[in-house]
Chains A and B, each alone.
Chain A
Amino acid sequence: MVLRKHEIEAALATEAQAISSGRLKEDNPLDLSDDFRVFCEACRRNDLKLCQEMISKGVNVNARDRYDYTPLILASLCGHFEVIQLLLENGALCERDTFQGERCLYNALNDRIRNLLLSYDYSKSSSPLQPLAAHITSLLTRPTPKTSDITLATYDQDFNLHKFILTARSPYFAKKLAAAPDISSFKLPHSVPAQSLAVALQYLYFQEVSLRTATFGLSDEEELIVLNGIDKISRTLEIPRLFENITEVSDRRLLRQLRTEELERGRDQLDSWFQENVVKHKMVVDSDKVDNVQWDRDNSIYADILLRADEESDEYELNRSNEYTIASGVSTPRASTIRNTLGPLNGIPVGPMKSRSPSRHRGLRKSILYPAHRAMLLRSEYFFTMFASSFKEAQETPHLQIVTLDCSPAVLETMLTFMYTEHADFGLDVAIDVLFAADQLFIEKLKQRAAMIISTLGNGSTSTVESENPRGETDPDEVIDIYEVLRAGWDTRVQRLEEFAARYMAQRLEHFIDDPEFATIVKESAKRVKERQETDTVELVDDIRYYLSERFRLRFEDSGLDEMMDEALQENNEVPLEAMEKLGLGEKDVPDIEAQLAAGAVRTLDGEIAGDEFAQDAINYQILLGKIDKLLEDLNLDA
């Protein structure tokens, strides 16, 4: 459907009016701050790392600059696929039938980008918080494993609920339950209609409720009763926004804005509750005394499981200040008699204790216990299986069970934060650990998130991988262990990391090509391929070749000098051969060349002085390709 110009103008005018009257929130507010300017600049220049940092800093990804450009429009106009992906994953809006959204689509550099934008259209995809909301909603109806700890009873219907969610979401329940934390059922007066309560609860549990569905098929009188009930409940439970949220809104955008706003508010409630209660109640105990920790089932934060992570000895000092003295309902008796019920049983060898810590005998090692709620842990399939099974962890015990997780406390906290709040901001330092832990526990989104953080930040101070390092300069201080990253990518089956590693290596191939460990990893890659199916390609090498050609060719294309490159190649036709001959010398030459490069001489990698930079690039490209072939030959690999 194509709108006429006057129709568009009319629509824009109505929209402006709606915004100024406060009915509709401005999707793209004007932002003149420096941060935003930097952010826009980064989007323009394809600086993934900077983008990621600015987003983490809290810049509004949907704002617009003084020329009415949003970061998304800039990125799609300039054709930076990864940046667009990053923006969209972080909630940048591209909605059809809005001015800015259509601009994005219209400006998309190519179809790939256009399709990406379309796939994130609000009507098809949902807000980034939707998985969290969906999970909490599902708690209302999930029969197994049982996670509810309180039952609200109306005259004809029972609701199995979760105290921590009620507390976090409704000040009324917070007060009520603080007064009587061990209450397990709650009878409501008969005057409260079950339907009204259901609507309120659905709202508390992040479900998208609308009055129309709630009162569907009811007569006018019944509807009135339900509405009155809802009104009453919203006042009692102190959730004043209930009505606003369930009233039918026909405008799709308005609906989306309301929904997003509500989700964010709810998430923030959960988040602050999580920080105030779960994180604050973490305990640091000596590792060998963990088994003595006993938490009552009725505790002030309604936790029903304890998660344990062991510190590495060198982190211990750092975290010592965080130590929190356990307060309510927790006792740490040292008596060994209790061990019988909680500890592993005789006859089953206890694996982790033995294999884990060489530092254990030092007695200094500390473990951190996080109280947690099964209801939220279910987001991980690992925990879901655990609690649904009939193993020890799923049994009812008088005291809370302690489940050890094989990761550092920081990683555990990251995972908990993600499961409770969908927040996933963590540093590069734990990224790989988070990646592994998320893989082990099947938290797919967190895994992708970790991979993203690694692949966008992992290239040190040089701003982006592909376009900014055509000459293969390296900064020795910032070198990350790319081999580890690649292996982690393989182990956890994250394609993104494999690609990232290949690109990273391609950009700095002159640095890696002679490294013996590079040969090892090529061999590993070749072996992986053999395991999969009998083909002749080595994936890593293929990828590197691809990115290498991109690295050089992109520059020529950017300069519009394709022909020049061809000419240069012809001129230097004999160079590769020479280079091959001189390969033997190459290894020795490297430091020498680097010195020369540092001196600013325009030389090829084999030391020849090239006519200009383009010729140099062309020759370098050939030399690097030659070196790869040589390497494969040495390793007896066909490619």
Chain B
Amino acid sequence: MIAGRGRQRIKPPRRGLHGGTDIDFEDTWGTIASAFREIHTKNASRLSYEELYRHAYKIVLKKKGDELYKRVSEFEHDWLRNEVRGSIQALFSPSLLANTQSLGGKTTNERRVAGEKFLKGLKQAWGDHQVCMSMLADVLMYMDRVYCQDQRVPSIYTAAMVLFRDDILNSPTSDDDGRVVLGLLNHVILNQIQMERDGEVIDKHLIKSCVYMLESLYDDEMEAEEQRLYTMSFEQAYLDTSRDFYRKEAEDQLRESDAGSYCRKARRRIYEEEERCKSTLLESTAPKIQKVVEDELIKSRIRELVDMDSGVRFMIDNDRLDELNLIFDLNARVDDKKAELTRALQKRIVDMGTDINDAAITASQAPAAAPASEAGDKGKAPVQEKSQNQQTVAAIKWVEDVLQLKDKFDTIWKVSFDEDQPLQTALTRSFADFINSTTFPRSSEYISLFIDENMKKGIKGKTETEVDLVLDKAIILLRYIQDKDLFERYYKKHLCRRLLMNKSISNDVEKHMISKMKIELGNNFTTKLESMFKDMTISEELTAGFKKHVAGLGEKDPKRIELAISVLTSMTWPLETMGSGDEEESKRQQCNFPPAIDRIKRGFEKFYNEKHSGRKLTWLAHMGSADLKATFPKVPQKDGTFKERRHDLNVPTYSMVILLLFNEVPAGTRLTFEEIQAETNIPHNDLVRNLQSLAVAPKTRILVKEPMTKDVKATDRFSFNEGFQGKTIKIKVGLVAAGNKVENDRERRETEKKNDDSRAFCIEAAVVRIMKQRKELSHQQLVIETLNQLVAQFKPEVPMIKKRIESLIEREYLERIEDTKVDSYRYLA
């Protein structure tokens, strides 16, 4: 077979095959046509492929491809028109035709059977056509590859499919009828689907094969993807009827059933349609029909649905978690943001939150209403004390209610809302909304009180994890608080009392709480709190150091007074808020201590100044306490006993000073209020309160007051109650209103005023920081940046910022830039 060099010639192709004798086109076509007829009548197994192919091949080689193509098309056209169309028309039962106009009259069953018969016939014809045409295409392969590709005409198979569309599907249903088969087909399929929706069983497979037929045919010659007959003729009709159906169903359902079952039904419908697309129609329709169902059943109804009597509110109140989940699921389908659900949820949270707020206000006010009128009076009646206790209770109840609410919605969020992030944000926002609501300004205080209460009592006997839980709850609420600085103020105040009065149960827990807050709110927030703790530690050391120092001074003085002292840094401690610190704190007079006390005081001052030079100690007598050993003389008691009694009295420092006063005077002497005040130089208010606890409080009536009224007046006279009888050896003389109570309105205003002052500093600092960095800035931007900087601490009001800027300009930190379009400032270094 290997070519030898040179001597071979290219021979022309064999005559039989090429050139030479011309084959007779008509003859050959006759052969092919009769073979095609055999194929159509399913006798193909006797035909020789080789022979037919060869004929077709030669025709094409002879450049008669176009003629062959035309003939084949004509052949198919005739075949479909003459043979197939008749058999299809025979399938139209009168009932089927009638049904296209009206749905009544016939039973569903009859309609179904007639429809199925039609579909079957059509499917059969289509199947046959496909099989035959693929055989034809096999035979005409050479024509397809060579002629069709060359001339850019569609392959014979495609052409034949087009013929089927034109000659069968687009043919009239009967000779005197304007409708076409395709329309009827659509109608029948839609009918069948409607039956299925109504619960009948239909032949899905049959419909699917008809749908496949529609899918593989095109509306025009371009064969563009979106021009499929299925898309063009059927799908739209399907979507339209579905839309109508679901619109109506949505109306009926909304009228007849509750939200829960509506949701269940809607979900089932969506699922059904999805299944239908898989089993009966095409999957490509799934997103479209789904949109229709969602539009009709959910999107246009979601508002009604959410607001129904049995809607979201009902579900929340009754903990219908699964139904909430349904509604969430449905809403998520049509709206990524789930706006409606969010709206309803937020409304409900704010409503419930406001209820809690209102309840707290009422609880704190109702009993307090009666003594409110007296509140202005100097006398601190137990009733009011009680009412303040009630306020504390209200505060704690508020906190617990809020936590409970939070728990409830957390559960809903976890179980029903798939832990959806945007919803969580919305929930958080709503909580923040009602907690920071302007009509309820006490949240910061309440939370701090809650912590205070727990620190003092609540955590007693609890395990570490339980304590942790409580603290975490507090932190959660803390997150919602906007005015963190206000909280800080309250917390500081409460902490201060706990520390100084040793009310705190566990120092560890306190520190733990601080570290938690540190994590949550940052270092800034806790530095002052931490330094308070530090002061306490240093003070303990000082006390010990002083004790040693005194011990080293010389022989033991039996009368020596022991001193425990807390040295507090004035900047970090909210000293002004302690006790009755509502008047001229800075100028608080120094009270006159009895000489023994004064001596030791001076001793300590000396000791302290040796250690730290240049520090000034201010003695805050109103915050201290003293232990006294008191001996009551042998006077006849009410119960007839006659003996000397000793009591260990724990009294506030001022009380101690007052009591020691009576040591100096002969027994039975009466001192007037004014005398006492002159002697001791105790501030008026403090004196009143101390005398009240010593002379009025029933259990600690160490002094006798004349006249015996609750109020202390300047003219009252006091004497030592020799007949005092205490049930225990140790007696604690509490100071009226010494506990951490909810502030009254006056106090609140005070606190807020102070808060505003400190905010002013913060704002100014922030403004200066920003301007220092930016040098020049427009007003608008400055405000925005200031807000941003301070957001972690509190939310300043814009007028306040404006005011601070004004003030800074006055003080020549900033200046206005002239001639600019927008107001701008420049930083003056």
Residues of A within 8 A of B (CB): 53, 56-57, 312, 344-345, 347-352, 355-357, 381-382, 385-386, 388-395, 403-408, 414, 425-433, 436, 440, 442, 453-454, 457-458, 460-461, 478, 480-481, 484-485, 488, 491, 493, 532
Contacts and interface: CB of A to CB of B under 8 A. Distances in A.
B284 interface: no
Interface stretch (B141-149, B437-445, B458-466, B605-613): B141-149
B23 to A, nearest CB: 6
Given A389-B135, A454-B10, A357 B16 contact: yes
Contact of B51 (A57, A351, A357): A351
A118 to B, nearest CB: 30
Contacts of A404: 50-51
Interface centre among B1, B6, B13, B18 (most CB of A within 10 A): B13
Chain B interface main SS type: helix
A389 B6 CA distance: 45
A166 to B, nearest CB: 28
Given A53-B3, A428-B3, 9 more contacts: A351-B55, A352-B54, A382-B141, A391-B44, A391-B45, A392-B49, A425-B2, A436-B17, A440-B142
Contacts of B2: 56-57, 425, 427
B21 interface: yes
Contacts of A57: 2
19 contacts: A355-B16, A382-B53, A382-B141, A386-B49, A389-B44, A392-B46, A393-B48, A425-B3, A427-B4, A429-B8, A429-B9, A432-B11, A436-B17, A453-B3, A458-B10, A460-B6, A480-B9, A484-B10, A484-B13
Contacts, number: 138
Nearest to B43: A345
B14 interface: yes
A390 B23 contact: no
Contacts of B3: 53, 56, 425-428, 453, 457
B673 interface: no
Contact of B5 (A53, A350, A454): A53
B450 interface: no
A393 B12 contact: no
Contacts of B135: 389-391
Interface of B: 1-6, 8-14, 16-18, 21, 23, 28, 30-31, 34-35, 38, 44-55, 57, 61, 135, 138, 141-142, 145-146, 150
Contacts of A532: 150
Given A56-B3, A382-B141, A457-B3, A345 B46 contact: yes
A392 B45 contact: yes
A350 B31 CA distance: 8
A569 B265 CA distance: 93
Contact of A348 (B11, B31, B61, B141): B31
A563 B11 CA distance: 44
A491 B142 contact: no
A357 B8 CA distance: 26
Contacts of B46: 345, 348, 392
A344 B17 contact: no
The 8 closest A-B pairs by CB, nearest first: A391-B49, A428-B8, A480-B10, A484-B12, A386-B49, A427-B3, A385-B138, A389-B138
Interface centre among A312, A385, A429 (most CB of B within 10 A): A385
Contacts of B57: 440
B26 to A, nearest CB: 12
Contacts of A414: 1
Interface centre among B51, B145, B150 (most CB of A within 10 A): B51
A406 B54 contact: yes
A461 B21 CA distance: 33
B47 A392 contact: yes
A506 B532 CA distance: 107
Chain A interface main SS type: helix
A389 B49 contact: yes
Contacts of B34: 347-349
Interface centre among A348, A386, A395, A491 (most CB of B within 10 A): A348
B16 A406 contact: yes
B146 A493 contact: yes
Nearest to B30: A349
Contact of A428 (B10, B18, B47, B48): B10
Given A53-B3, A391-B44, A491 B31 contact: no
B6 A478 contact: yes
Given A428-B10, A460-B6, A391 B47 contact: yes
B417 to A, nearest CB: 41
Contacts of A391: 44-45, 47-49, 52, 135, 138
Contacts of A460: 6
A237 to B, nearest CB: 33
A351 to B, nearest CB: 6
B50 A403 contact: yes
Contacts of A484: 10, 12-13
B21 A381 contact: no
Contact of A344 (B1, B11, B38, B51): B51
A245 B35 CA distance: 52
B10 A390 contact: no
A57 B1 CA distance: 11
A326 B12 CA distance: 33
A460 B53 CA distance: 36
B431 to A, nearest CB: 52
B198 to A, nearest CB: 43
A238 B23 CA distance: 55
Contacts of B30: 349
Contacts of A390: 44-45, 135
A393 B51 CA distance: 10
Contacts of A385: 49, 138, 141
A429 B8 CA distance: 6
Contacts of B18: 436, 491
B12 A432 contact: yes
Contacts of A403: 50
Contact of A392 (B5, B23, B48, B150): B48
A542 B305 CA distance: 77
B50 A428 contact: no
A406 B55 CA distance: 11
Contacts of B47: 348, 391-392
A632 to B, nearest CB: 23
Nearest to A428: B8
Contacts of B28: 351
Contact of A355 (B8, B21, B44, B150): B21
Given A349-B30, A454-B10, A355 B61 contact: no
A407 B50 CA distance: 13
A12 to B, nearest CB: 37
A532 B150 CA distance: 8
Contacts of B48: 344, 391-393
Nearest to A57: B2
B1 A427 contact: yes
Contacts of A382: 53, 141
A481 B141 CA distance: 30
Contacts of A454: 10
Contacts of A427: 1-4, 8
B50 A386 contact: yes
A483 B544 CA distance: 125
Contacts of A431: 10
Nearest to B51: A351
Contacts of A478: 6, 9
Contacts of A393: 48-50
Contacts of A461: 6
B51 A350 contact: yes
Nearest to B66: A531
Nearest to B23: A355
A407 B8 contact: no
Nearest to A427: B3
A349 B16 contact: no
Interface centre among B50, B138, B145 (most CB of A within 10 A): B50
Contacts of A480: 9-10
